[in-house]
């Protein structure tokens, strides 16, 4: 199957060719023709399958003719998180570069003023998180009656985050003649109910889950005492060819503490979690994508959907409580045909989480002996990114070419110049593992989704 067989316009085919795509992915091949025929669709697909282009490409052609009116967006894409919304907007810009469509991004955490101005001018495509959309709707800044095309993306994530009542309300305000596309990695009963209620004779298209089927990710677990996690992590980062790594923790406090300690210990580390405001989250992501930092400490806010090329390692510093999150987390590596390594730390309290992950993935996770990880190299003398940026090192793009790796390593780990903070702090003694169990407000599993959702309002 070729892109040219799907019925897309020449302008789009050119944009797709410029993006470097040779052929459509399975979800694109299945979804694009029915969407162009104005059918409703249910797409059962995860991020990483090319699903964004499967709705963005046909939408651009559908919207190519017609004009937008003030406060009346012609189409609406709902995303559960600001990062995903921003990513879809980037996709729109990339694929729509030969069209003249207007777009607005309505996400929480940024000023409403510019968003309101964009709406006043009229937009062809509105990409929004449900909270901010409802907020502006209730203030009378948006009229939904002109919206003929709706995409509900990552519906199961919306469910986790408590957005379904908002979505029901939004659907009921759109014209009943609209075309609706719903994408979800799984179809739990509430999502099935939502689609029965709001989609009209939809065509279902389904592709296999990329992470479970993804044999290009080398997965393993390592048993470790909570107090020994930090040393084990440093050993891996120092000795196992890590170019770029995302280190996932279950709690925001742990993300913060780990990042802080790693910076003090000379690693080029950044952080992303739901307590950070939108601009800091995006700025930190940008630093990671551009290669300014090569380690990102993250909560599950970064697990789903983020498309960052060339992440060589994912380390689950804490095993996720929810097995679905495991799939999403490890899916940040091994993307687009590249190989990746996913290592999960398991303490003696975590066995039941290992069981549920193995049940979900249908595979036994290989166990590595912690002794197989060489101890961290001498920590003194590591050079921080702040230090580095002032000196010789130019920004390097993520996933450097093989010949760039050596250079990146040389500067990122062991430089003779002293780090910004010279001495390595004494190893923290199991700081969070014990303490956080009582910190409900810092829970970052399925429940913290609600916290993130609140931030979006």
- Which residue, 51 or 313, is less far from ligand AMP as judged by CB? 51
Does 336 help bind ligand AMP (rule: CB under 6 A)?
A: yes
Tokens, residue 365: 């996770």
- Which residue, 3 or 248, is less far from ligand AMP as judged by CB? 3
181-206 burial code (b ≥16 CB/10 A, e <16): bbbbbebeeebeebbeebbeebbebe
Residue 390's contacts (CB-CB under 8 Å, 6 or more residues apart) are none
Looking at 30, 49, 294, 413, which residue binds ligand AMP (CB under 6 A)?
49
Does 415 help bind ligand AMP (rule: CB under 6 A)?
A: no
Does 386 help bind ligand AMP (rule: CB under 6 A)?
A: no
Sheet strands (E) in 287-412:
295-298, 313-316, 340-346, 367-368
* Distance in angstroms (rounded) separating the CA atoms of residues 85 and 91: 10
- Which residue, 356 or 398, is less far from ligand AMP as judged by CB? 398
User: Considering the complex, what minimum distance in angstroms separates the CB of residue 158 from ligand AMP?
Assistant: 17
370: phi then psi, degrees, rounded to nearest 5: -60, -25
* Distance in angstroms (rounded) separating the CA atoms of residues 274 and 252: 7
Residue range at the interface with ligand AMP (CB under 6 A); choices 51-59, 237-245, 288-296, 397-405:
51-59
* Distance in angstroms (rounded) separating the CA atoms of residues 28 and 95: 14
User: Considering the complex, what minimum distance in angstroms separates the CB of residue 371 from ligand AMP?
Assistant: 37
- Which residue, 211 or 343, is less far from ligand AMP as judged by CB? 211
- Which residue, 47 or 444, is less far from ligand AMP as judged by CB? 47
Looking at 12, 32, 41, 48, which residue binds ligand AMP (CB under 6 A)?
48
Task: Please name which of 267, 251, 291, 241 lies closest in space to residue 421, comparing C-alpha atoms.
Answer: 267
Does 47 help bind ligand AMP (rule: CB under 6 A)?
A: yes
* Distance in angstroms (rounded) separating the CA atoms of residues 171 and 174: 5
Number of H helices, E strands in the chain: 19, 14
Looking at 21, 141, 360, 420, which residue binds ligand AMP (CB under 6 A)?
21
Tokens, residue 414: 């062991």
Does 51 help bind ligand AMP (rule: CB under 6 A)?
A: yes
Q: Residue with CB nearest ligand AMP?
A: 52
Touching ligand AMP, residues 278-307 (CB under 6 A): 307
- Which residue, 244 or 411, is less far from ligand AMP as judged by CB? 244
Residue range at the interface with ligand AMP (CB under 6 A); choices 49-57, 104-112, 242-250, 419-427:
49-57
Residue range at the interface with ligand AMP (CB under 6 A); choices 45-53, 227-235, 279-287, 369-377:
45-53
- Which residue, 208 or 389, is less far from ligand AMP as judged by CB? 208
User: Considering the complex, what minimum distance in angstroms separates the CB of residue 6 from ligand AMP?
Assistant: 11
User: Considering the complex, what minimum distance in angstroms separates the CB of residue 116 from ligand AMP?
Assistant: 29
Q: Cα dihedral sign for 107, 112, 113, 116?
A: positive
Whole-angstrom CA distances from 115 to 73, 148, 153 are 12, 21, 21
Does 50 help bind ligand AMP (rule: CB under 6 A)?
A: yes
- Which residue, 57 or 354, is less far from ligand AMP as judged by CB? 57
User: Considering the complex, what minimum distance in angstroms separates the CB of residue 50 from ligand AMP?
Assistant: 3
Q: What is the DSSP string of 24-36?
A: --HHHHHHHHHHH
DSSP 308: -
Residue 365 near residue 357, CB atoms below 8 Å: yes
Beta bridge partners of 223: 346
* Distance in angstroms (rounded) separating the CA atoms of residues 283 and 285: 5
User: Considering the complex, what minimum distance in angstroms separates the CB of residue 296 from ligand AMP?
Assistant: 17
Does 41 help bind ligand AMP (rule: CB under 6 A)?
A: no
Does 30 help bind ligand AMP (rule: CB under 6 A)?
A: no
Q: Can you state the angle between helices 130-138 and 164-173, rounded to 10 degrees? A: 50
- Which residue, 52 or 81, is less far from ligand AMP as judged by CB? 52
Residue range at the interface with ligand AMP (CB under 6 A); choices 42-50, 62-70, 109-117, 271-279:
42-50
Site for ligand AMP (CB under 6 A): how many residues?
Answer: 13
| Burial class of residue 128 (count of CB atoms within 10 Å of its CB; 0-12, 13-18, 19+) | buried
- Binding footprint of ligand AMP on the chain (CB under 6 A): 21, 24-25, 28, 47-53, 307, 336
């Amino acid at each position: 199957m070729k892109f040219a067989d799907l019925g897309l316009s020449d302008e789009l085919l050119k944009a797709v060719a410029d993006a470097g795509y040779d052929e459509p992915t399975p979800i694109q091949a299945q979804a694009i023709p029915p969407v162009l025929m104005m059918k409703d669709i249910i797409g059962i697909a995860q991020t990483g399958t090319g699903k964004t282009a499967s709705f963005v490409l046909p939408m651009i052609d559908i919207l190519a003719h017609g004009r937008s009116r003030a406060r009346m967006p012609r189409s609406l894409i709902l995303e559960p998180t600001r990062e995903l919304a921003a990513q879809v907007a980037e996709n729109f810009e990339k694929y729509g570069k030969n069209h003249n469509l207007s777009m607005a991004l309505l996400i929480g955490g940024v000023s409403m003023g510019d968003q309101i101005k964009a709406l006043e001018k009229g937009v062809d495509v509105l990409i929004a998180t449900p909270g901010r959309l409802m907020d502006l709707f209730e203030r009378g800044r948006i009229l939904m009656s002109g919206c003929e095309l709706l995409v509900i993306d990552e519906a199961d994530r919306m469910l986790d985050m408590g957005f379904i009542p908002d979505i029901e309300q939004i659907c009921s305000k759109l014209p009943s003649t609209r075309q609706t596309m719903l994408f979800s990695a799984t179809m739990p009963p509430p999502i099935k109910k939502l689609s029965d209620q709001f989609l009209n004779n939809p065509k279902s298209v389904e592709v296999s889950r990329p992470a479970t089927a993804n044999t290009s990710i080398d997965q393993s677990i390592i048993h470790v005492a909570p107090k020994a996690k930090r040393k084990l992590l440093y050993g891996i980062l120092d000795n196992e060819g890590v170019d770029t790594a995302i280190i996932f923790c279950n709690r925001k406090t742990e993300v913060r503490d780990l990042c802080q300690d790693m910076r003090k210990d000379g690693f080029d580390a950044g952080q992303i979690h739901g307590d950070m405001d939108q601009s800091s989250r995006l700025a930190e992501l940008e630093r990671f994508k551009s290669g300014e930092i090569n380690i990102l400490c993250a909560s599950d806010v970064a697990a789903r959907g983020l498309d960052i090329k060339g992440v060589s390692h994912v380390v689950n510093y804490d095993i996720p409580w929810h097995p679905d999150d495991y799939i999403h987390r490890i899916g940040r590596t091994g993307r687009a045909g590249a190989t990746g390594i996913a290592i999960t730390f398991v303490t003696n309290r975590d066995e039941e989480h290992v069981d549920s992950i193995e049940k979900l993935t249908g595979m036994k996770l290989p166990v590595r002996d912690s002794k197989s990880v060489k101890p961290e190299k001498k920590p003194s003398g590591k050079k921080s990114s702040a230090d580095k940026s002032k000196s010789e090192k130019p920004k390097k793009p993520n996933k450097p070419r093989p010949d760039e790796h050596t250079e990146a390593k040389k500067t990122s780990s062991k430089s003779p110049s002293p780090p910004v903070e010279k001495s390595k702090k004494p190893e923290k003694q199991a700081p969070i593992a014990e303490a956080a169990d009582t910190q409900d407000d810092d829970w970052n599993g399925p429940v913290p989704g609600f916290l993130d959702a609140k931030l979006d309002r």
